[in-house]
Structure 1
């Protein structure tokens, strides 16, 4: 049986392989971006350096060098998903570096915003709300929008949380929860974390937490939220325990801590 090394050597020396190699080599070197790179570094690149860089040139030309805007990073076919290649000269060596593409930037930014919002039993559609899609068809909503704008501007200017909050009230289905979601997203855009809590379900969960010994953990999570939003507060009758030991304790802590 002929050794593999000897067989490979024969293949590499065969006319057909040499022809295919030269064809691929010329195709890579004729690539517009490769020619531009060589021209930009002609004072440094030698013929041998260019030959040595052929694998890197091939790596570069076999991928999309610009974001394809496929709509999702998952559709990216590049070697490094969500990144585009760039040819760089490091000393006497040509390398391929990868930079994050606009689509990945967009998705990373959206993910970072989503991670700024913690939700306890809030509907998913509420968490996607925004002020830009909120109907400004009443004086009350315009007033809320102005308050939110001032609230956020104050955070931007002072780097501190305003001392006063906002109490929103109204009939069923007028959009109070939507407004909370919109405010949370506006805060997330300036890197401020918030916690949205649907109070009736939260109180039921707190009762169960006594048995599984997670009461203090859940209370601390809500009490120490940078911005806390309580939805449907008063939607159901409160017992003296839920009023004094749960909601009262949360509000007292936040008022005492400023």
Structure 2
């Protein structure tokens, strides 16, 4: 169909005026317009003729949507939206009104954007969070992971059915078995249900603390975010190089606030007793067993320990 603008610009030419009339008649006889008339017999043809440009856009955008090239290449005037026409009577006058309506692809994208906004990451590769998840793929990568994966599924289902408790998960396994990926999956699924989440890669987080320890505002914002989010994941805890201040005044403060309030999750290569040993040793003060125990009193009672078995997947397909 020709551009309505092109037709209007050619109105001084008799031959083109005829083409304009032909275009108008084609438009009024279009199945979509006929369907609109059938649904609203109160809308007479004279009123339709006052809205030819609106009808034209309605028909064209419907054609675009039927041959959708994808959201990024949407040719409609308002990307990801189509014209929806309604007939309304205002002050006794029946007329045609247009509203821009988001398409299914746009709604899906907006939903995904809203999910991502509920999740923050500190020093974790965003590709892990945004790459998409396939439950069959998660389960099928390595049969030895099945027990752990089923427990993650059960946790998600329980939160959806009953809400959050203060109990989290301690996911323990060797290198490359998919601990981070499974925790990101849990965050993603519960973000769909409206929960906010933060995942923190511990080795980089502790190093960053050394740089910002004098920036009280930035430090407070970071710590408050971790304290108050619905779900907090400390990823690869035990791999960091601790100092007493980071352990006692930052990590300890976060855990002290969250215990009995909100669930905290962990991934680690260490079993719980190995993590306690790690938390007892700092680069400055050496071993202080009671300080490691003090932190573990804020971790162990509030988690279900889930061993994750399987092959090292690093260097292979994600999972």
Task: Report TM bin, short chain.
Answer: 0.7 to 0.9
2:198 is paired with a residue whose SS is strand
CA distance in 2, matches of 1:88, 1:245: 61
Conserved 8 A contact 1:177-1:231: yes
Structure 1 98/12 Cα, relative in aligned 2: closer, same or farther at 3 Å? same
1:12-32 per-position Cα deviation (integer Å, ceiling 9, x unaligned): 565234313211211211211
CA distance, structure 1, for counterparts of residue 198 and residue 178 of structure 2: 18
Corresponding position of 1:36: 35
Higher relative strand content: 2
**RMSD of the TM alignment (CA)?**
2.2
Q: How far apart, CA to CA, are the structure 2 residues paired with 1:135 and 1:118?
A: 25
Say whether residues 1:247 and 2:247 are aligned partners. Answer: no
Do structure 1's residue 188 and structure 2's residue 186 form an aligned pair? no
Report the CA distance shift for 1:129/1:41 in structure 2 as closer, same or farther (over 3 A). closer
Any idea what SS the aligned residue of 1:95 has?
strand
Between the two proteins, the alignment pairs up a number of residues equal to 244
Gaps (5+ residues) in structure 1?
Answer: 1-10
> 1:6 corresponds to which residue?
none
Aligned to 1:7: none
* Corresponding residue SS for 2:233: strand
Could you tell me whether the CA contact under 8 Å between 1:198 and 1:232 is conserved in 2?
yes
Q: Using structure 1 for the length normalisation, give the TM-score.
A: 0.85
Q: Structure 1 residues 29 and 144 mapped into 2: Cα distance closer, same or farther (>3 Å)? A: same
Following TM superposition, by how much is the alpha carbon of 1:131 offset from its aligned partner in structure 2, in angstroms? Answer: 6.0
State the alpha-carbon separation in 2 of the partners of residues 47 and 107 from structure 1: 38
Q: TM-score, normalised by structure 2?
A: 0.70
Stretches of structure 2 that go unaligned for 5 or more consecutive residues are 1-9, 263-319
Counterpart position of 1:176: 179
Greater relative CO (CA pairs within 8 A, separation 6+): 2
- Say whether the 8 Å CA contact 1:196–1:230 is kept in structure 2: yes
Deviates more, 1:208-217 or 1:160-169: 208-217
What's the offset of the Cα at 1:103? 1.1
- Answer yes or no: is the 8 Å Cα contact 2:86–2:96 preserved in 1: yes
1: CA distance between counterparts of 2:132 and 2:205? 21
Matching residue within 205, 210, 219 for 1:202: 205
